Amino acid sequence: MRILIIHNHYQNPGGEDTVVAQEKRLLGGTENVELVTFHNRKGWMGMWQTFWSPLNIWAAQKVKRAIKRHRPDIIHIHNLHYAIGPIAIRIAKRTGIPVVMTLHNYRLLCPSATLFYDGKLFIDSIHKGFPWRAIRLGVHSRSRIKTFWLALTVWLHKKIGTWQMVDRYLTLTDFAKQLFIRSSFGLSAEKYVTKPNFAAVGQSPPRHTDRPQTAPFLFIGRLTPEKGINVLLEAFAGTDLPLQIVGDGPLRNEVMKIAGVSPHITYFGALDQAAITPLLASCTALIFPSIWYEGMPMTLLEAFAAGTPVIVSDLGAMQSMVQDGQNGWLFTPGDAEALREKAKLWLATENAYRHRLGSGAKQSYEKFYTAERNRLLLTEIYSSVIASHPRKQ
């Protein structure tokens, strides 16, 4: 099977880039895979790319050349925003090649892409024909012009049938799948299939029974409001609950300030994966207090792989991934007191119970989120789409 992957890199590297690289490596050992990439630019070049995003003829030429060179059986598109644009879908379909597209975020439903704005969920656009309120608020980059242009691009290609041309959309969770199905995007349920991300792990971590009774809780992530940092700090500050925080971001100073006066809170700053792995394997539970829907948090997959239970917001992707009392606990989103009480109750439970949830986390990883499981699922999706697609003339 010959596979062409198309991906647009943002200005700052992110989780989507990691997933694309992982999937290419995963398929590269067994399939003939080529990756063609685009990059968002800053300054005048970025403005030029944005202006042409509804119909980028230069990106179209690059896609055409890649198709001619690689002669793929299927094309897998990841991010199109904004240096490529939806024209890549039309070029692929013009050649008669089936197309699948991973929905890493909610950009096709709302210009915010995250369904989060001004410190809270923003879901107004989901059922609207055109997101006028999102434009008035400037939910994309806090710019009404950019928000309008992105919304116009999505709307225009909805009207001319571009999004309908995708043979299968890959959602990361069942929650995201249902959100798209019930939205005004207007595609049938058969267009969507759930295909989660995966976590590649090295050596087996310690068993959960090896973790000391006094092991701390752990937070790993970007220090931003949508990640629930304020909820985390309010829940743990001034208590004797042990907490380790790993990450960097706009709220770094606030985290440092609280950690400086809270002897049971330790802030490590940003760490590489080699340093994070032993912390994740030895903590009592991972805390994930995010207050937005998320896509598919890699941190949760890594916790499951380590056999580490999680305590997460009962919201969005986390609802799909965490079964309360089986591989972790859920708490009311945005409620610091509820998180604090969960943490206290967790430390008061018997170690055997915590070990059972750790085993459940490991089982979740082995059932859904291993590299091999992901490879099989991807190739099954590709084969199914190719088999049901009209053959090229």
- Give me the phi and psi of 245, to 5 degrees please: -120, 130
Percent of all residues in the chain with a pLDDT value above 70, rounded to a whole number: 97
- How many CA atoms does the CB half-sphere of 213 hold within 13 Å? 5
Residue 41 · residue 83 · CB < 8 Å: yes
Residue 180 · residue 187 · CB < 8 Å: yes
Q: State residue 188's pLDDT score.
A: 96
What's the pLDDT band for 346 if we cut at 50, 70, 90? very high
Q: State residue 6's pLDDT score.
A: 97
Segment 107-134, tens digit of pLDDT: 999 999 999 999 999 999 999 999 999 9
Q: Fill in the amino acid letter for 27.
A: L
Segment 350-366, tens digit of pLDDT: 999 999 999 999 999 99
Segment 50-72, tens digit of pLDDT: 999 999 999 999 999 999 999 99
Percent of all residues in the chain with a pLDDT value above 90, rounded to a whole number: 90
Query: Per-domain residue ranges for the chain?
Result: 2-198+371-388, 208-368
> How is residue 389 written in tokens?
């697609």
Segment 124-181, tens digit of pLDDT: 999 999 999 999 999 999 999 999 999 999 999 999 999 999 999 999 999 999 999 9
- Give me the phi and psi of 151, to 5 degrees please: -65, -40
Q: State residue 201's pLDDT score.
A: 74
Is there a common fold for 2-198+371-388 and 208-368?
A: yes
Domain 208-368, what architecture? 3-Layer(aba) Sandwich (3.40)
Q: State residue 208's pLDDT score.
A: 53
What's the pLDDT band for 391 if we cut at 50, 70, 90? low
Q: What's the pTM? A: 0.92
CA angle, residues 300, 303, 305, in degrees to nearest 5: 110
Q: State residue 390's pLDDT score.
A: 75
pLDDT at 76 over 80: yes
Looking at CATH, the fold of the domain delimited by 2-198+371-388 is given as: Rossmann fold (3.40.50)
What's the pLDDT band for 29 if we cut at 50, 70, 90? confident
Q: State residue 304's pLDDT score.
A: 96
Q: State residue 291's pLDDT score.
A: 97
User: Stretch 262-284: mean pLDDT, rounded?
Assistant: 94
Residue 263 · residue 286 · CB < 8 Å: no
What's the pLDDT band for 235 if we cut at 50, 70, 90? very high
Segment 184-220, tens digit of pLDDT: 999 999 999 999 999 887 544 445 556 777 799 999 9
Q: State residue 5's pLDDT score.
A: 96
Query: b or e along 272-295 (b: 16 or more beta carbons within 10 Å of the residue's beta carbon)?
Result: eeeebbebbbbbbbbbbbbbbbbb
Average pLDDT along the chain: 93
CA angle, residues 325, 326, 332, in degrees to nearest 5: 45
User: Stretch 98-103: mean pLDDT, rounded?
Assistant: 97
Q: State residue 305's pLDDT score.
A: 95
What's the pLDDT band for 312 if we cut at 50, 70, 90? very high
